[in-house]
Amino acid sequence: MPYPKKADKIEPGIWKTVDGRVMVDFKPGGRTGKRFTKLVRTQGEARELKRRIASRYERGDALVTQHDNRTLSQLSDDWFRYHGHTLASGKKRLGILHNMCRAMGDPQAKQCKAVMFLDYRQVRIEAGITANHMNHELAYLKAVFNVLSNIDNWKHDKPFDKIKKLKLVKKQLRFLSTEEQDSLLSAASESENPDLHTVIETCLSTGCRFGEINGLEAEHVRPGIIDIIDSKNGRNRSVPIGPKLEQRIREGRPKSGKLFRNCFNSFDTALAKASITLPRGQNTHVLRHTFASHYMMNGGPFLELNKILGHETVQMTLTYAHLAPQHLVSAIKYNPLDFRNSEKK
């Protein structure tokens, strides 16, 4: 429905209309900015509305009106401005969001439809991207609309809310046998990268992620302890190490700053030399799985493993519970037939 014609100008940005109402009509960002127009009943309401909109503009807020023409990438930028910058992975996530926006044609956010993401997801899945990765991308996209909606910076529909995550097929985690560990360490000792052997040894001894150890700084190695700062889940944790490993970590390395060279490419070379084949997506993470698996098979306390690995929930550590020897023994001891027979004795 078109706005009524203006009759008299009350003050800059506020007009009286021919039907007796009051219109707020101004550009808070100046002549090149977006235009804000709204009808109200009284001059008092008009002045308050104009003041509020001008104030929000000065704070950097986007004008949330029916004329909100922000693109999906602009909405992502606003998400980063108000929330994403507080996340450890905020910049990385913003980059992923921008890539998604480009792939979907960067439409106006209010024109987005669920089918846009579904088409995009199908192309990505066919290109070999995992279901787990696509679930993360969907969650990132939903978060943009949820965050801005919660702070009244988005007044339209949340177009991707009803899309369900893809069901994940749980794969058996691969871990290295004792022989494979020896082969890998032997290949690492022959590597051109003099730090690779120590990085692998430390991962196998502590259960730390490869990147956590490869990025370790001298200041984070204390007597008998490694401090992991700003881990994947944003938490700090301390992991115990033996005196011999501590000596090998420190020996011949800087007294401050980063201890090791980049070892990721060297690790791939060592894997190939040791003739070790891993499932897609595990790669360096196999060292962490190896530590946890052998820890449980050797009878290590379950709750201690949870603390060592730095898992946010016990459910994450339960992945390894079935490897505990007491788990296997209890299956024999407490199955219904054997348990009943033991009671009769």
Active site residue ranges: 209, 232, 285, 288, 311, 320
∠ Cα 140 141 147 (to 5°): 80
Alpha-helix runs per DSSP H in 21-129:
43-58, 72-82, 90-103, 114-126
What are the angstrom distances between the C-alpha of 1 and each of 68, 86, 200? Answer: 17, 42, 69
∠ Cα 38 39 44 (to 5°): 105
Rounded distance, CA 321 to CA 335, Å? 18
Rounded distance, CA 157 to CA 111, Å? 10
DSSP element (H, E) containing 210? helix 210-214
Rounded distance, CA 238 to CA 307, Å? 9
Q: Identify the sign of the CA torsion 271, 273, 275, 280.
A: positive
User: Is the distance from CB of 253 to CB of 218 less than 8 angstroms?
Assistant: yes
**Alpha carbon distance, N-terminus to C-terminus of the chain:** 88
